[in-house]
Homo-oligomer: A and B are copies of this chain.
Amino acid sequence: MKNRVITISREFGSGGRTIGKKTAEKLGIPCYDNELIGQIAAQSGFNENYIKDAGEYAPGGRLSSALWNRAFGPTNEDYLWKIQYKIITDLAEKEPCVIVGRCADYILRDTADCLKVFIHADMKFRAERIVKVYGERESSPEQRLRDKDKRRAAYHRFYTDMKWGHAQNYDITLNSGTLGIDRCVDIIASLY
């Protein structure tokens, strides 16, 4: 019998991570998010910050990869992808859980009984939220959001060939800006 797993993809600043954590708490199951990065770091030997970044760049999306001709073999990102794939598959096999980000929906498409969730919100909601949560940066919050969205979509597209944010890829998508974070948690938990 397959474990029941909830995967949460999310736009940056939409509160998807918070929704994942709260849902997991409500259901009494673990939530994997930054923990995943730690595990990938331990198994790959790469630095955690590098892995965080690599999870948002499609190969070719930054200089190191752009200079690397893929005809010579896999990139660092490809190597990380394989480790990530294995870790997520193992987690889902071990116990019911919530997994935030890292293309878990795609990775588990055949191996787990998966509720696939996507969380998004409009620019204004997210801009206010990232300034509150992560503080001010040199570039405007809107610029940071556009940049992150573009990178996540490209990464997702590269490794999964699925269009990020397309309703058809998920069981449910929720606008945390209009519905509110707690309501999103209630709905997801009720579907478990």
A contact set with B: CB distance below 8 Å: 118, 120, 165-168, 170-175, 178-179, 183, 187, 190-191
Contact = CB atoms under 8 A, between A and B. Distances in A.
Contacts of A165: 166-168
A120 B187 CA distance: 18
A89 to B, nearest CB: 21
Nearest to A119: B167
22 contacts: A118-B167, A120-B167, A165-B166, A165-B167, A165-B168, A166-B167, A167-B167, A168-B175, A170-B173, A170-B175, A171-B175, A171-B178, A171-B179, A172-B172, A172-B173, A172-B174, A172-B179, A173-B173, A183-B191, A187-B187, A187-B190, A187-B191
A187 B172 CA distance: 11
Contacts of A170: 167, 173, 175
A61 to B, nearest CB: 22
A191 to B, nearest CB: 7
